Amino acid sequence: MNMLYKIIILLALLALVLAVSGCFYFRQAKFGRLPQGDRLDRISRSPNYQGGTFHNREPFVSVVEGGEGFGLWLKFLLRSDDNLTPPGPVPVVKTDLKSMAPDRDAVIWLGHSSYFIRLNGRTILIDPVLSDHAAPVSFSTRAFDGTTLYTAEDIPDIDYLLISHDHWDHLDYDTVTALRPRIGRIVTGLGVGAHFASWGFPEEMIVEADWDDTVRLEDGLTLYVLTARHFSGRLFDRNRTLWVAFALETGSRRIFYSGDSGYGAHFKAIGKRFGGFDLVLLDSGQYNEAWQYVHMNPEQAAQAALDLRAASALPSHTGRFNISYHSWDDPFRRFVTAGQGKPYRLVTPEIGEVVRLDDPQQTFTRWWETL
- For the chain, the structural domain boundaries read 97-355
pLDDT at 289 (0 to 100): 86
Angle formed at CA 305 by CA 280 and CA 345, multiple of 5 degrees:
75
Which distant-in-sequence residues (6+ apart) come within 8 Å of 37 by Cβ? Answer: none
pLDDT at 80 (0 to 100): 60
At 255 the three-state DSSP class reads strand
Under CATH, domain 97-355 is a member of which superfamily? Ribonuclease Z/Hydroxyacylglutathione hydrolase-like (3.60.15.10)
Q: What's the start-to-end Cα distance of the chain, in Å?
A: 62
Confidence of residue 82 (pLDDT cuts 50, 70, 90): confident
Question: Which whole number is the average pLDDT over 312-332?
Answer: 96
Which distant-in-sequence residues (6+ apart) come within 8 Å of 303 by Cβ? Answer: 263, 267
Q: Tell me: pLDDT of 5 over 80.
A: no
Beta strands in 140-220 (DSSP E): 158-163, 183-189, 206-209, 213-218
At 5 the three-state DSSP class reads helix
Residue 157: its H or E element: none
pLDDT at 243 (0 to 100): 98
Question: Which whole number is the average pLDDT over 52-77?
Answer: 66
pLDDT at 22 (0 to 100): 46
Q: Is the pTM of this model over 0.85?
A: yes
Q: Tell me: pLDDT of 333 over 80.
A: yes
CB 173 within 8 A of CB 11: no
Backbone angles phi, psi at 366, to 5 degrees: -90, 70
pLDDT of 108-140, one tens digit each?
999 999 999 999 999 999 999 999 999 999 999
Confidence of residue 66 (pLDDT cuts 50, 70, 90): very low
CB 208 within 8 A of CB 189: yes
The DSSP bridge pattern shows strands 254-257 and 279-283 to be parallel
pLDDT of 268-305, one tens digit each?
999 999 999 999 999 999 999 889 999 999 999 999 99
How far apart are the C-alpha atoms of 222 and 219, rounded to whole Å?
Answer: 8
CB count in 10 Å sphere of residue 159: 21
DSSP 344: S
At 278 the three-state DSSP class reads coil
CB 160 within 8 A of CB 185: yes
297 burial class (0-12, 13-18, 19+ CB within 10 angstroms)? buried
How far apart are the C-alpha atoms of 151 and 178, rounded to whole Å?
Answer: 9
How far apart are the C-alpha atoms of 90 and 319, rounded to whole Å?
Answer: 8
CA 21 from centroid of its chain's CA atoms: 30
How far apart are the C-alpha atoms of 260 and 113, rounded to whole Å?
Answer: 9
CA nearest neighbour of 371 among 144, 88, 83? 88
